[in-house]
Structure 1
Amino acid sequence: MSQFYPLKVSSIERTTRDAVVVAFEVPNDLTEKFLFRPGQYLNVRTQVNGEELRRSYSICAAPHDNLLRVAVKRVADGAFSSWANAHLEVGSTLDVMPPDGSFTVDFDPENQRGYAAFAVGSGITPILSLVKTALDTEPNSTFTLFYANRASSSIMFREEIEDLKNRYMNRFSVVYIMSRELQDIDLFNGRLDAEKVDQLLSVWLPPEKIDYAFVCGPHDMTEQVVSTLKAKGLTKDQIKYELFGAPKGPRTTASGAAPRQAPGAEDCQLTIIQDGFTRDITIKKNHLSLVDAAMEQGIELPYSCKGGVCSTCRCKVVEGEVDMDANFALEDYEVNMGFVLSCQSFPVTDKVVIDFDQET
């Protein structure tokens, strides 16, 4: 299981008025632990005014950059993002977990592919890593980026994106879409929704030229873009998406039904396998998530977002049954193998055994 390591902040650069790029200094003895694939993220932890804050931030560098950095965009009522934008300093130390995430594909110099990406706002951060890797690794591949923002002043990494466009003029194209700033071409005005994507794929980039599509942004936007891509003929395996923030709503089970109340005793005997150790605790059925129930008894399980968006809390149910509420991180094959998000899973049987050490 991944653990936190203290990393020193080596640089902080402001990319827009409300976003900073934070780079970390990785000690030599941790170099291998912090190797990453394009599109992955870091879990970051700190203490602010006596409160522990954890957040997941996508790595916005390519592996060949030999640089570990994330971008933190200030969000409304965002405790971590507001603190980082206003108070984080070079030389500060943050607790960071090694890279995680599956928002990526395998890149190979022999590939000849057409990639497309659809990003909104800070959704550009993992996309930038994917763009840079594809262009550097696959000389016969092309990449088209559709990047939506309110206005040009809110475009993150604009200079870096323009530099890539100039360097790879024949293989990389960028379409900026603005919702609050008028552009000459009407197609590039408005929001990146289902109608806009349908127009873009009809006029700008034929879907048959897309081998893989990457989508990153808010839930509603991501859902609409993915649905439109599928309607245009792309298969599920051709579409990779990552959510920035989960939709808000009442708790439901994975099937959308009300939580089950299992027959028999109200208590559940929970066995936790973690880092080679086994611990047994007694918790209530269908009361708290596995993460919260364990924490209530002084056992810290891995977690970050607590919204079913990242996969930091991923574990395998090897005995018993749980109800998993939201799942925006696990693939169908992982769920079929018994993997769940422990921050979204509630025990419903008398005994449940979960294993954080199993990868497959």
Structure 2
Amino acid sequence: MFHPLRVSAVEQLTDDAVAITFAIPPELRETFRHTPGQHVALRRIVGGAEIRRTYSICTAAAGATEQPVVRVGVRLVEGGEFSTYALKELSVGDTVEVMEPMGRFSFEPRPGRFVAIVGGSGITPVLSIAATLLAREPDARFCLIRSDRTAASTMFLDEVADLKDRWPDRFQLVTALSREEQQSGLPSGRLDEERLTGLLPELLPVADVDGWFLCGPFGLVQGAERALHGLGVARTRIHQEIFHVDDGTSTATAPTGPASAAAPAHSTLTATLDGRSGTWPVRDGDSLLETVLRSRSDAPYACKGGVCGTCRAFLVSGEVRMDRNYALEPEETEAGYVLACQSHPLAPEVELDFDR
């Protein structure tokens, strides 16, 4: 569900990025009390067309008696309708429709050693995770390994510096710049699989890390994941969220589903959402999400690109083909979950449950 929230602050982070803070009225405080790592979807209507974009919350999670703060970082995307609006037009006092916090790249603080490898705006949810963990768990340690193009393009510099100042013994920061040399720290260059494989054992005891958080462009996340697997890290300790995917650059875009199955000539979809069920014909070429949206405008989605996971649903019956999947973990797909925005029927009748 979307709620109209007033913009209480717009802060320039870099030449191409801003932080937007929303005022949360008393009646919505519990609704917007987020878990570290979650995101919100923002909605805008332009020329009668709906635009939705997903942005992670960068602030620490509020305690039970604290006022929740919803602040997101928005980086300008070339040709991006919402990011252009956010950087060039959005002002304090404006109202934006904001969906309730959601997402599975989330973390409940606990004692232990944790590491994040992030690129660009991938710092946003990790900032919330690190700030919450360090404030709540005195026996926790956090190492942030971040990659950016240049120092000038690095988001949330002050916020990360504050973490280092407040918890110098428990927060470790390692910065790599791909297009600029630093006076100290790592040499210039990308954090790819080969570099991380050699770097990580020098920085910390890899086997003793309780959780790894990978967030940013697909190439960085994929390279970091391969490096960790090569170093013997169990898949269950790795959590990832993709912020950007270049079409056609990865085998992860390959469709998933029965290899020999062909789409039926006619198919119907039954879907349950918020306790209500309906059955509709699937038009040729339409995804299952598009089928539901024709009759249920409240169907959950944000990116429609297989990245955010907002449209996750349980496949009750039938078979589907997913064109892309950058959001669901292998355990989720094995349990029967699919991304409705990327799913097409491979059976005459398919049933989804968005409530599970």
The corresponding residue for 1:159 is 158
The corresponding residue for 2:204 is 205
| Counterpart mapping for 1:286-301 below 5 A | 287-295=285-293, 297-300=294-297, 301=299
Aligned with 2:336 (options 335, 338, 341)? 338
Q: Distance in 1 between matches of 2:185 and 2:198?
A: 11
The corresponding residue for 1:71 is 73
The corresponding residue for 1:226 is 225
Displacement after TM superposition at 1:32 (Å): 1.3
Q: Distance in 2 between matches of 1:256 and 1:153?
A: 47
Structure 2 residue 244 is matched with structure 1 residue 245: yes
Structure 2 residue 140 is matched with structure 1 residue 137: no
Q: Percent same amino acid among aligned pairs?
A: 40
Query: Which structure 1 segments of 5+ residues have no match?
Result: none
| Counterpart mapping for 1:73-112 below 5 A | 73-108=75-110, 111=111
| Counterpart mapping for 1:29-44 below 5 A | 29-44=27-42
Per-residue displacement from partner, 1:310-343 (whole Å, max 9, x unpaired)? Answer: 1111111212221122111122232223211100
Displacement after TM superposition at 1:202 (Å): 3.2
Displacement after TM superposition at 1:117 (Å): 0.9
- Answer whether contact 1:246 1:307 (CA < 8 A) is retained: no
Q: CA RMSD in A?
A: 1.9
Q: Aligned pair in 2 of structure 1 residues 82, 182: CA closer, same or farther (>3 Å)?
A: same
- Answer whether contact 1:41 1:100 (CA < 8 A) is retained: yes
Displacement after TM superposition at 1:281 (Å): 1.2
Counterpart code for 1:322: V
The corresponding residue for 1:318 is 316
Q: Aligned pair in 2 of structure 1 residues 224, 104: CA closer, same or farther (>3 Å)?
A: same
Structure 2 residue 148 is matched with structure 1 residue 149: yes
Displacement after TM superposition at 1:186 (Å): 7.0
The corresponding residue for 1:53 is 51
- Answer whether contact 1:149 1:179 (CA < 8 A) is retained: yes
Displacement after TM superposition at 1:185 (Å): 4.7
Counterpart code for 2:141: T
Displacement after TM superposition at 1:204 (Å): 2.1
Counterpart code for 1:101: G
Displacement after TM superposition at 1:49 (Å): 4.3
Per-residue displacement from partner, 1:165-208 (whole Å, max 9, x unpaired)? Answer: 01111111111111111123573421111122123213222312
Per-residue displacement from partner, 1:188-241 (whole Å, max 9, x unpaired)? Answer: 421111122123213222312322111111001110001101111211111111
Partner secondary structure for residue 267 of structure 2: strand
Q: Distance in 1 between matches of 2:234 and 2:161?
A: 31
Q: Distance in 2 between matches of 1:194 and 1:271?
A: 43
Counterpart code for 1:66: P
- What is the TM-score of this pair, normalised by structure 2? 0.92
Q: Aligned pair in 2 of structure 1 residues 13, 185: CA closer, same or farther (>3 Å)?
A: closer
Query: Which structure 2 segments of 5+ residues have no match?
Result: none
The more displaced of 130-139 and 208-217 is 208-217
Q: Distance in 2 between matches of 1:183 and 1:342?
A: 44
The more displaced of 195-204 and 301-310 is 195-204
Partner secondary structure for residue 240 of structure 1: strand
The more displaced of 91-100 and 324-333 is 324-333
Partner secondary structure for residue 63 of structure 1: coil
Q: Aligned pair in 2 of structure 1 residues 188, 146: CA closer, same or farther (>3 Å)?
A: farther
Q: Aligned pair in 2 of structure 1 residues 333, 198: CA closer, same or farther (>3 Å)?
A: closer
Partner secondary structure for residue 132 of structure 1: helix
- Answer whether contact 1:175 1:188 (CA < 8 A) is retained: no
Structure 2 residue 167 is matched with structure 1 residue 175: no
Displacement after TM superposition at 1:262 (Å): 4.1
Counterpart code for 1:261: A
The more displaced of 13-22 and 205-214 is 205-214
Q: Distance in 1 between matches of 2:155 and 2:28?
A: 29
Counterpart code for 2:150: A
